[in-house]
Amino acid sequence: MNRHALDELKQQIPLMGYLQAHDWNPARPLSGGRWMGLCPLHEDHKPSFLVDTNKDLFYCYGCGRGGDVIRFAELYHQVKFPQAVAWLRQWRGAEPLLQEAARFYRIQLHRHSEAVAYLYQRGIRSQALIEHMGIGYAPGGCLRGWLMQLGHSLPALREAGLVTGVGYDAYVQRLVFPLEGNLYGRSLSLAAPPHRFLPGSKGGLYAWKQVQSHPEVILVEGLFDYAVLWEAGFHNITCSLGTHLNAHQLRQLCDGPRTIYVAFDADGNGSGKQAAQRLSRSLRERGITTRVVSLPEGHDPNSFFVQGGDPHQFQSLLEEAQ
Ligand SMILES: [Zn+2]
């Protein structure tokens, strides 16, 4: 990539926008379009991270690091310069495309009764919840035409992973949940792998901004768990999309004092429980209070509610959690 292309990339991704998309919030303004906030690159307790929105540069008085948006991406994602550039290019290109795709999938949902029936069976029954999560449906076979009609190119669709190498829609008969910079697809067909993501990172914790300021947060592993708990009135909830948290998600859980209730699946083989305990240990080492919630054997939060559990019973499980 030559110098001109790099300058163009930086112009298209203002540092402040990129920081805020990664949950950074300025604590106080200084003169001349400059802001101070907590440093997202080291454990910071008083704001030492300076952002200059006119020059599009940052500097941290705590860890002494600074630079432009590419330098920030290198440090934040712990990658080398070329990977940071590739990451930013993908981030720039994929965002509007993914939003269009998600909108298309949302329109499809109510045209496909099998998709709505599946949601119903998994406890997702209210329109408010469907809208809150932006749930859509990929029937397979018409996304490509829709997006190309909107002016997106086939190579761009391929690069985002929405279309396969030979040009078919990548998601077929899947419920689709928009994430930060990705789309999660849950297959309705038993013949396909149940869980899929588009290429790239699964992003941060689900809906983190809504729970970030809450002193107690419930963490579940799947979006269907998230859905039933949200519907049951537990709005201090987030989801890690699997039991293995990426570095970004760990950092989010540790970005302030709070208690985390880990409510992973109680699988027969104990793997969910082990993962919950592992995570709980690593959070405690970082100074975060944790409680591991014990669900009845063989249950996840979704099946617990779908099979008749009520909010009071779940509340008792939270209170008993250790
Ligand atoms: Zn720092």
pLDDT in tens, 100-127: 999 999 999 999 999 999 999 999 999 9
* Residue-wise pLDDT tens digits, 246-295: 888 998 898 888 999 999 998 878 888 999 999 999 999 999 999 999 99
Q: How far is the CA of 239 from the centre of ligand 1 (A)?
A: 27
Query: What letter does residue 278 receive in the DSSP assignment?
Result: H
* Residue-wise pLDDT tens digits, 129-151: 999 999 999 999 899 999 999 88
* Residue-wise pLDDT tens digits, 5-28: 899 889 888 899 889 877 788 999
Q: How far is the CA of 217 from the centre of ligand 1 (A)?
A: 26
Q: How far is the CA of 45 from the centre of ligand 1 (A)?
A: 10
How far is C-alpha 48 from the chain's CA centre? 27
Q: Which of 124, 134, 230 has the alpha carbon at shortest distance from 184?
A: 134
Q: What pLDDT, on a 0 to 100 scale, did the predictor assign at position 242?
A: 93
Exposed, middle or buried, 19 (CB in 10 Å: 0-12/13-18/19+)? buried
Q: How far is the CA of 47 from the centre of ligand 1 (A)?
A: 9
Q: How far is the CA of 282 from the centre of ligand 1 (A)?
A: 22
Q: How far is the CA of 50 from the centre of ligand 1 (A)?
A: 9
Q: How far is the CA of 252 from the centre of ligand 1 (A)?
A: 16
Q: What pLDDT, on a 0 to 100 scale, did the predictor assign at position 156?
A: 86
Q: What pLDDT, on a 0 to 100 scale, did the predictor assign at position 196?
A: 95
In angstroms, the CA 269 to CA 266 distance is 8
Q: How far is the CA of 255 from the centre of ligand 1 (A)?
A: 13
pTM higher than 0.85, yes or no?
A: no
Looking at the DSSP bridge assignments, the partners of residue 174 are: 138, 187
Location of structure tokens 């379009």:
33
In angstroms, the CA 169 to CA 222 distance is 24
In angstroms, the CA 247 to CA 245 distance is 7
Q: How far is the CA of 46 from the centre of ligand 1 (A)?
A: 10
Q: How far is the CA of 18 from the centre of ligand 1 (A)?
A: 17
Q: How far is the CA of 82 from the centre of ligand 1 (A)?
A: 22
In angstroms, the CA 80 to CA 203 distance is 19
In angstroms, the CA 186 to CA 191 distance is 12
Q: How far is the CA of 290 from the centre of ligand 1 (A)?
A: 26
Q: How far is the CA of 134 from the centre of ligand 1 (A)?
A: 35
Q: What pLDDT, on a 0 to 100 scale, did the predictor assign at position 200?
A: 76
